[in-house]
Amino acid sequence: MTQVVRQGVCILGATGSIGQSTLDVLRRHPERWSVASLGANQDVERMLAACLEFRPPVVAMADEQAAARLATALKAAGLATEVLSGEEGMQTIAADAASAVVVAAIVGAAGLCSSLAAVRAGKRVLLANKEALVMSGDLFMAEVAAHGATLIPLDSEHNALFQCLPHVSANASRAAMGVESLILTASGGPFLEWSAERLLAVTPEQACAHPNWSMGKKISVDSASLMNKGLEVIEAFWLFGMPLERIKVVVHPQSIVHSMVAYADGSVLAQLGLPDMRTPIAHALAWPERVQSGVAALDLTQMNHLSFVPPDTQRFPCLRLAYDALRQGGLAPAVLNAANEVAVDAFLQRRLGFTQIPALIEAVLNRVTAEKAPVLDQALDDVFAVDRQGRALANEWVQHHGKVS
């Protein structure tokens, strides 16, 4: 047997859905991985529990007060864990030499800088934070190449594509290797069969109750509006360097086939498994090896029906908006992301109707692109400037058109 070198793992977003699933995989393999550091926003209770179990030498809380409370609680528990705080603390643990692997699982734009810090430190980066790629894909991928980082997607569709694609060196073209198209599967979310009329009255509780996956609130709403698939199309574009017209979406309500790659000879390779993020997490941690994830074996005889239908962008315009933003290029996807984050937040606070989410995003995209030509050469400052502009316009839109509570 070959000797396994124990690697340190940093989890950014440790208290979230992906973070907790990652800890569950690590729990099964103490001989392979140790927890080098953990980062989160303000959930002191979960962070304390993780510290007591995994004993990371250093942790970071974005929220200063939460950091102070955690430090007190750790001391009282007799642990000497160092507690950092703020965005700076997050970037410090992301780049810290004690970890070889960084799981980037903070939700939204808040995760961009720490994900980039891990990339710039040349880590093996397991990326769940799709918003980072949507906002700054061009720059992000250039930094991956410049710093020799290894980027492995955790998003189940992209992890499936990663498993089904031929592995090529940085400059080689996948099209030259006979890849015809990438086919992303979408569950369709909880409202797949709902009429346009019924969608008008959707509540946050209904939107967050995903039929197959258990996830954080933001991505659950994104899945219900199909914006999640839109963000994933953009994510696939940057990760795999495929032209947009070769990235397709098919609705597969059972979430067993996680995505597919179609080849020139007519072959279609698919990755299958139960809808449980511990599979892609274990895959990305151990790649190119395979380890136990805790996920049950797939019994195909128990699946009486696997179906595939085209997405309906009439009832779910967010998917079309994402394709449009990517086609437009430059900073348009960053505007799309900013507007969506504000829209989802407002929807969760009952200040915006579900069907107003795409209306808001479209209005903000039109406003920003009418005002200024898209910048092609992305710099991080430009990305954040347009992120702020998108958010300001989106908040204005909520004030004028949102629901009166």
- Contacts with Mg ion, residue ranges (CB under 5 A): 155-157
Answer yes or no whether residue 331 interacts with ligand NAD by CB under 6 A: no
Answer yes or no whether residue 41 interacts with ligand NAD by CB under 6 A: yes
Binding flags for ligand NAD, 90-129, as an x/- string (CB under 6 A): x--------------xxx--x-----------------xx
Binding flags for ligand NAD, 132-171, as an x/- string (CB under 6 A): -----------------------x----------------
Among 8, 19, 317, 353, binds ligand NAD (CB under 6 A): 19
**Interacting residues with ligand NAD between 21 and 40 (CB under 6 A):** 39-40
Mark 120-145 as b/e (b = at least 16 C-beta within 10 Å). Answer: bbebbbbbbbbbbbbbbbbbbbebbe
Q: How far is the CB of 11 from Mg ion (least distance, A)?
A: 18
With residue 262 as reference, give the H or E element that holds it.
strand 257-263
- Pick the piece of the chain touching ligand NAD (CB under 6 A) from 167-175, 182-190, 216-224, 327-335: 216-224
User: Residue 177 or 298: which CB sits closer to ligand NAD?
Assistant: 298
Task: State how far the Cα of 369 lies from the Cα of 361, in Å rounded to an integer.
Answer: 12
Answer whether 226's CB lies under 8 Å from 320's CB: no
Task: State how far the Cα of 251 lies from the Cα of 238, in Å rounded to an integer.
Answer: 22
Q: How far is the CB of 39 from Mg ion (least distance, A)?
A: 22
User: Residue 19 or 390: which CB sits closer to ligand NAD?
Assistant: 19
Backbone angles phi, psi at 346, to 5 degrees: -65, -40
Q: How do 179-186 and 257-263 pair as beta strands?
A: antiparallel
Q: How far is the CB of 10 from Mg ion (least distance, A)?
A: 22
Q: How far is the CB of 278 from ligand NAD (least distance, A)?
A: 10
User: Residue 43 or 180: which CB sits closer to ligand NAD?
Assistant: 43
CA quadruple 123, 129, 132, 134: dihedral sign: positive
Answer yes or no whether residue 279 interacts with ligand NAD by CB under 6 A: no
Task: State how far the Cα of 134 lies from the Cα of 111, in Å rounded to an integer.
Answer: 12
Question: Helices marked H in 165-296 — which ranges?
Answer: 196-199, 204-208, 217-225, 227-240, 278-286
User: Residue 110 or 179: which CB sits closer to ligand NAD?
Assistant: 110
**Residue 7 interacts with which of Mg ion, ligand NAD, none, CB < 5 to 8 Å by class:** none
Task: State how far the Cα of 45 lies from the Cα of 60, in Å rounded to an integer.
Answer: 14
Residue with tokens 């007060």: 65
Q: How far is the CB of 232 from Mg ion (least distance, A)?
A: 6
Answer yes or no whether residue 15 interacts with ligand NAD by CB under 6 A: yes
# of chain residues touching ligand NAD (CB under 6 A): 28
User: Residue 130 or 391: which CB sits closer to Mg ion?
Assistant: 130
Backbone angles phi, psi at 59, to 5 degrees: -135, 165
Mutual orientation of helices 112-120 and 86-95 as an angle, nearest 10°?
30
Answer yes or no whether residue 213 interacts with ligand NAD by CB under 6 A: yes
Q: How far is the CB of 260 from ligand NAD (least distance, A)?
A: 18
According to DSSP, the residues that pair with 261 across neighbouring strands are: 182, 269
- CA 89 to chain CA centroid, Å, is 21
SS3 144: helix
Residue nearest to ligand NAD (CB): 16
SS3 13: coil
**Residue 216 interacts with which of Mg ion, ligand NAD, none, CB < 5 to 8 Å by class:** ligand NAD
Q: How far is the CB of 155 from Mg ion (least distance, A)?
A: 4
Residues at the contact surface with ligand NAD, assessed by CB under 6 A: 13-19, 39-41, 43, 62, 90, 105-107, 110, 128-131, 155, 213, 215-216, 218-219, 277
